[in-house]
Every structure is written in C-alpha cells, then in structure tokens.
Amino acid sequence: MDATLARLEALLDEAERFKLRGLAFDQLRELGRLYRVAAARLSRERERGDDPESIRHLNALCVRAYGLLYARSEPRPPLARVLAERLPDAIARTWRVQLLAWLLLGAGTFLGAALAAREDDAIYSLVPSSLGYEGATLEQLVASPEARAAFLAREEQPLSRNALFGSALFTHNTRVGLLSFATGMLAGVPTVLLQLYNGLMVGAFGALFLRDPWPIDFVAWILPHAIPELTAITLCAAAGLLLGGAVATPGRGGRAAALRAAIDPALLLFGASLPLFAVAAGIESFLRESTVGAAPRLAVAAAGLAAVIGGLAWVRRLAHRRLPDTAWLAELRGLPRGSPGSGSAPAP
C-alpha cells in the first residue's frame, strides 16, 4: 500500500474515532482530496481488472470515505418529542396490565384491612419496621385512640428536615418501584407478590386508623401523597408484569422477540413513575409534615386524583389521534388513494 492510501486510511480511522468534528479544517480538506484520488484510482483498476485484492481494498476505503463525507445522518429528535410521541401510546396500549396491577393492589388492600380488623396481631405482621412504626409506637397506635390522634397532630417542621425527609422518601419509593419492575423478568411472580404485599401494608395500616369513629384526619393525612405514590408503584408493577408476560407466555415468536417488544413500553412506564414518586415525596415531606388543615389537604388529594384521571384520558386521546386525511392531494397529482406518498393515514 502506497503512502497516499496509507494516509487516507489514517485519516479515516481518526475521523471514525472522533467524528468529522474532531478533524481540523486542513485534515478535512485533505480527506476529501484523497477520497477523490482513491475513487479515480479505483475506476482505473476496475477497468484493468488485474488486481482483485487492490480493488477490494480501494473499494472499502472509498465506501468509508463516502459515508463520512456525503452520507446524511438523520438528526436525533429531542427527548421531549420522543416521550410525547411514545409515552402516550405505551400507556394506552398497556391498560390491561395496568388494570391487573391495580386489581392486585386493591385485593391486597382489602385482605390487609380484613385481617387487621379481625386480629390486631395481623397489624404487627403486615406493617413493616422499615416504615418507622415498630415496637412500642405501633402498640400504642393499636391500643389507644389518643395515641392515634397525637400521631396525626399537625406540627410545623424545619424546611431542612423536610427536604432531607423528602429525598429519603423518593429514594425508598423509587427502590421499591425498581424492584417491582426488575423482578418482572422472573416470569412476573415477584412483581405480583410485591404488589399484593404493598396492598396488604396499606390495608393494615389504614384499618388501624379507620376504626376510629371520625377518621377524616387520617384520610386527609394519607390521600394527598398516596394517590401519586400508589399510581407510580402500580406503573412499575405494570412494567414488571409486561416483562413477566413476555417471559412466561412469549408466543410463537419466541421469548427473545417477546422481550424485545415488551422492554420499550416497560421502560416508558417505569420512567413515567419517577415524576410521580418525586411529587409524592414532596407532598409527603412538605404538606403532610405541616400545620395545614384537613380541608386543604383533601383539596390537594382531589386535585391529584383529577390530574391522574385527566392525564390518563389525555394520554388515551393522544394515542388514538388520527392524522389528517390528505389523500385528496394525491388525486390532484394523479396518484391513486392510499398509494405511497399520498399522505393518507392508515386506519387504526
């Protein structure tokens, strides 16, 4: 290989390593000149046809140079645009697994409440110490209405403490959601158990306060942050169930193809849960740990519920939107309706 081709190959290696932006102007100009020299030499060698190895080498160099100099790469769309287009479709298409996740949570909540109402010992078993309610504190809450009222009493907390508490809540809840999502790879069995257990905890802890004759303070205490938090956990569980369904029932295409089809909407559902976890942590650390009365708390809860329902309705509408029918333009151009380039949207 002569010096010209060696120099061309060195420039191509550098351009492929650092992209064209990494080349100086003189190097870029030299690369274009050497490409034209190599292309002309390739043309002559093809006419002679007496050195196939040299022709293959020159052809490879010219293909690499042409791809760098002239091939147009499509710009990557912004992340916000990708999410705006793909997230609504993913949420709308996975409504069945989301409904299943909600049913699992509801079943666990009902069972936990029934067990706690029947036997106080169930509360000690179902409310984990990781929630911060253990030992004498939990015993007092079970035995004394006064202790429950004192627990729900509103006290102003320093902002620094609220911020630290909120970050800890966000980390803990995200870890729970990630566990529910990632363990879906095990045929979805751990995800089902985790979702049921989340419901058992909510039901048992709720039954502890709902035994009081006027539990409005507890409802105002828990609902504002529970709505976004449980929605986020359910989205994570739905994502895990998608992966579990692909593993357990892959269909005729095979498990690998089913997982490839499920991983994209599953990741989008998990990603959609993160802002909800952040909102829940903010409400729980700043609103719950404040002296705000029951009425504003219930108003926040109602607004959160309306936002979740309205968001789901908006997402479903986006996912089912129709592109405008521009097939009449094709008729003006003499093309049949539905032909490539007619611009008509296919019927869903």
- Across the range 314-324, mean pLDDT stands at 66
Confidence of residue 18 (pLDDT cuts 50, 70, 90): confident
Separation between Cα atoms, residue 250 and residue 189, nearest integer Å: 15
Say if residue 111's pLDDT is above 50.
yes
Which of 33-42, 84-93, 249-258, 263-272 has the lowest average pLDDT? 84-93
Sort 14 into a burial class: Cβ within 10 Å, 0-12 / 13-18 / 19+: middle
Mean per-residue pLDDT over the chain, rounded: 84
Say if residue 90's pLDDT is above 70.
yes
pTM (2 decimals)? 0.71
DSSP annotation of 24: -
For residue 304, how many other CB atoms are within 10 A of its CB?
22
Which of 102-116, 130-144, 320-334 has the lowest average pLDDT? 320-334
What is residue 169's three-state secondary structure? helix
- pLDDT at 269 (0 to 100): 94
Percent of the chain with pLDDT over 70: 85
Confidence of residue 193 (pLDDT cuts 50, 70, 90): very high
Confidence of residue 298 (pLDDT cuts 50, 70, 90): very high
Note whether 336 and 330 are within 8 A (CB): yes
Separation between Cα atoms, residue 104 and residue 144, nearest integer Å: 31
CA distances in angstroms from 75 to 19, 20, 69, 78, 268, listed in the order given: 15, 15, 16, 9, 22
- pLDDT at 75 (0 to 100): 62
Sort 246 into a burial class: Cβ within 10 Å, 0-12 / 13-18 / 19+: buried
- pLDDT at 47 (0 to 100): 86
Which are the contacts of 180, defined by CB distance < 8 A and separation ≥ 6?
190, 191, 194, 195, 233, 236, 237, 239, 240
Separation between Cα atoms, residue 161 and residue 79, nearest integer Å: 34
Which is nearest to 298 in space by CA: 314, 306, 161, 204? 306
Which of 111-115, 210-214, 276-280 has the lowest average pLDDT? 210-214
Which is nearest to 289 in space by CA: 127, 169, 141, 121? 169
Sort 344 into a burial class: Cβ within 10 Å, 0-12 / 13-18 / 19+: middle
Confidence of residue 85 (pLDDT cuts 50, 70, 90): confident
**In the chain, which residue ranges form alpha helices assigned H by DSSP?**
3-18, 25-48, 52-69, 79-93, 95-118, 121-126, 135-143, 145-151, 159-182, 189-210, 216-248, 255-282, 294-319, 327-332
First to last CA, the chain: 58
- pLDDT at 105 (0 to 100): 97
